Amino acid sequence: MTHFHIRFLKKICNDTGHECVTCQGEFLVENTSAGLALEEAEAAFCELRKTDRWDMFADTAEIRITGGREGFAPRLAGVGHPKSQAI
């Protein structure tokens, strides 16, 4: 199986009116395809945010193939998350 690093990103304006991109959450998912990995990450993001629509918190999802899970812990912006394993 392949490891996918998935980040949920949101475009916001800073105090000077310039746009920047912020990461609202990131997950490492092991799956056979990027599509299935994205579905897993979307479900996990929604569960952590207690919502049924991840796009309420992020504009887009970025998917990258990664070498493994060493030193990786899923993160959700603004929320301490103790899990250190893939979803």
Each residue's pLDDT, cut to its tens digit, for the chain (87 residues) gives: 889 999 999 999 989 999 999 999 999 999 999 999 999 999 999 999 999 999 999 999 999 998 765 555 555 554 443 333 333
Q: How far is CA 6 from CA 13, 18, 50, 74, in A?
A: 23, 25, 19, 10
Q: Please give the pLDDT value at position 36.
A: 93
> Which pTM does this prediction carry?
0.73
Q: What is the pLDDT, as a whole number, of residue 82?
A: 37
What tokens were used for 17? 């009116």
Residues 6+ apart with CB under 8 A from 57: 8, 10, 24, 25, 45, 49, 51
